[in-house]
Structure 1
Amino acid sequence: MAKHPVVVYGASGYTGMLIMDWLIDQNIPFTAVARNAGRAKEMMAQRVVRLESANYELIEADHDVDSLIEAFSGAKVVCNTVGPFTNFGLVAVEAALKAGCHYLDTSGEQSHVRAVRDGYGELYRQAGLLVSPSIAYMYSFAEIAAELALEAPGVDALETATLARGPRGGGAGVSVGSTATIFDTYRQEACYLWEKKLVSHDKHASFNISSPDFMQPVFALPWSGTSLPVYFESDPRVRSCVSCVGFYDNNVMQTVHALGQKWEAEYANLPREQQDVVLKQIVDSTTPSMPPRERTSLHRTVDFAIGRGQLAAVRATVHGITPYIATGALQVAGAIKLIDGDTAKVGFASGSKAFGHRHLLGFLEQRGLARATISQL
């Protein structure tokens, strides 16, 4: 049973430890939950900043509903980082509900977001609890940009892009969990919102994004469709939403795209067990170990939303740094609100809908993680 108000599930993972950094920074006691407490203790000692001053406990729990109910009970908020979420996420969603906790996670997979909405949104609403997947750099920054664009009267159509850079331009600096998630999306349907309905992207869909932030177009992919079309599907302001993701280094994204085409040609019809083996080989060959902590001088991001209406046209841009560190900050910004009982929504809702996009942006701006600009087109 948790002794503290916030649970961080995935205590030995890259993102989980960054959430702990921000909880310690905000002087919030927390319970760290891991499947292997010994490994988690070792990793936390190496990588969590100011751990010696933290008020925390470490609990070991198996990844099943009953074990996690026991570990989560007593807390107010669960911050889940254990992915790929399409494989593991719903176990923690169910456990948090039964333990009486609000639920946040760092997922990027659209299929997981849809599964949470359809399977648990109403149950959480009836319990007076919030269930909010995808509170992370991907795709909270793009959603903040979209909400800023929607402040302009008459906007009803959105196009968003999430563009990130790391060492050597792109792939280096991606966590093991994120790599597994990226390649697992080959098995998932990716949708965009068109005239209030979710529509499947073509399996080979790609984009060439022209942005004033870059000299050359950026090659981008649907990236499972992102969470935004799902969150805006029930928003009366929005008729359409198309979202994509790119790295500054076009070669990285073109390699990912080529692997996706190879997947469709060679692996898509294999039994799931054989697909799992193929995906593990890809992940092991591309991201064999946990990357170092991000550097503010290298890890930069540009997220923008173009909002259009019959005559309205606006562009909102959020420039940022260190997306994983920013993810930890976003999770804690939400947890603070939930600890205080201050949420605009219960049931299924995005971070911007539950906590306010201006609150999340302000939390990031005050800590030097993001800045926003809005221009009329």
Structure 2
Amino acid sequence: MTTANSTDTVKTIAIYGATGITGGSLLTELNRRGITPILVGRNADRMHAAAAAVGLPAAEVRVADLGEHDALVAAFTGADAVISSLPAYVDHGEAVLAAAIDAGAHYTDLSGEQLFLKRVFDDYAARAVRAGVTAVPGITNSNLPGDLLGYLTSRRLTGPVEITMSLVGTKEGNGSKGSAQTVLAGLDWFRSGGWHFQDGGLQTGGTARRGEMTFPGATEPTIVSKFPQPPVLTIPRHSDVSYVEGVLETAFHSQLSGLSAEIVESLPNEPTPGLSYDFVVDAFGADGRAVRGVVSGPDSYVDSALMAVEAAVRLADGAAEAGVLTAAEAFDAEGFLDALAPFGITWTIDER
């Protein structure tokens, strides 16, 4: 594992997708850090408006469509790192990734789809190595905590370790239309529960090995079902594990049964503010001991943007090795989590 610490050195960071809800949070955090980003996208007027709305009227705007590879490469040229903020990465994500690599820029994104992450690791690792850049996909309020906590908890136990993880909301509310579009694009995969890791590889089918979890602050267990959490793919890359599964409250799965394009279109663009959450990783050692890691945060959407900016700044420092890496492979796990404390994002690991 290589260590990359964020520094005060001003870097050039480009954002594709800055006009959306998460894009606004990315711009706000970059502005707070004194970084004036390059905004890349299809609509110059909307990008200028997004930059001005967060106090960045001088931000450079470069127009490039997802279908224009050469234009995207030109737009990302000169950037130290690129942040991709899109809905439905499984449909749209590769264009920005490929262009960032070909432009010689480090890359991160806020993808939450197992299928996209596997494609990135399988198809783009060698390309990133040849270009001398680092790509760390899947930086969200669930993926990043899941990967880093998986790394840390597994090292407190005798391996091989079994891991079950889940995101649980601690405030009721609605997600964004973009999140619903992501789920709709991979609806069958989400309904199926996706991959779990077992016997040295990714497996589909079956049910959750642990069908209930008692979440932080609860006195009774919650029934959970298998869910395609991306850290299922990333944790086995760096940790001694025999089994890794993602789960989610079973009640959520019932909401997927009737999801349609019409329903998604009717949803509000913006999520409910302040969707606080816990991301829980339960790890079970071969010797019978168990530990629980929890990352807690005040706002799922804002926190994902904060994590992505922290990742981009660290990548721009250039200390991570070239290739496609997990968060725990690219960054110091404890150092990264500690850096989120000023935003009210906390983490703990306790023996159970």
TM bucket, shorter chain: 0.7 to 0.9
The answer for the alignment partner of 2:255 in structure 1 is 256
Write the letter of the residue equivalent to 2:255: V
The answer for the alignment partner of 1:283 in structure 2 is 264
The answer to whether residue 245 in structure 2 is matched with residue 238 in structure 1 is: no
1:319 pairs with 296, 311, 334, which one? 296
CA drift at 1:105:
0.6
CA drift at 1:32:
0.8
CA 1:57–1:351 in 2, change beyond 3 Å: closer, same or farther?
A: same
Which structure 2 residue ranges, 5 or more long, are not aligned?
A: 1-10
Write the letter of the residue equivalent to 1:327: S
Post-superposition CA distance 1:109-138 (Å, at most 9, x none): 000000111110121123221111101112
CA 1:221–1:19 in 2, change beyond 3 Å: closer, same or farther?
A: farther
- Residues in 1 aligned to 2:153 and 2:41: alpha-carbon distance in whole angstroms: 39
Residues 149-168 of structure 1 mapped to structure 2, 5 A cutoff: 149-155=153-159, 156-166=161-171
CA drift at 1:60:
1.8
- Residues in 1 aligned to 2:203 and 2:154: alpha-carbon distance in whole angstroms: 22
Structure whose residues are more often helix by fraction: 1
Residues 365-376 of structure 1 mapped to structure 2, 5 A cutoff: 365=341, 367-376=342-351
CA 1:116–1:210 in 2, change beyond 3 Å: closer, same or farther?
A: same
Residues 87-106 of structure 1 mapped to structure 2, 5 A cutoff: 87-106=91-110
**1:159–1:306 CA contact under 8 A, matched in 2:** yes
The answer for the alignment partner of 1:18 in structure 2 is 25
Q: Per the alignment, in what secondary structure is the counterpart of residue 290 of structure 1?
A: coil
CA drift at 1:143:
2.2
- Residues in 1 aligned to 2:215 and 2:170: alpha-carbon distance in whole angstroms: 15
- Residues in 2 aligned to 1:78 and 1:301: alpha-carbon distance in whole angstroms: 27
The answer for the alignment partner of 1:267 in structure 2 is none
- Residues in 2 aligned to 1:289 and 1:127: alpha-carbon distance in whole angstroms: 37
The answer for the alignment partner of 1:271 in structure 2 is none
1:27 pairs with 15, 21, 34, which one? 34
1:329 pairs with 303, 306, 309, which one? 306
Q: Which moved more, 1:109-118 or 1:347-356?
A: 347-356
Q: Which moved more, 1:108-117 or 1:322-331?
A: 322-331
- Aligned-residue Cα RMSD (Å) equals 2.4
Identity %: 24
The answer to whether residue 13 in structure 2 is matched with residue 6 in structure 1 is: yes
Which structure 1 residue ranges, 5 or more long, are not aligned?
A: 261-278
CA drift at 1:351:
1.8
- Residues in 1 aligned to 2:222 and 2:258: alpha-carbon distance in whole angstroms: 18
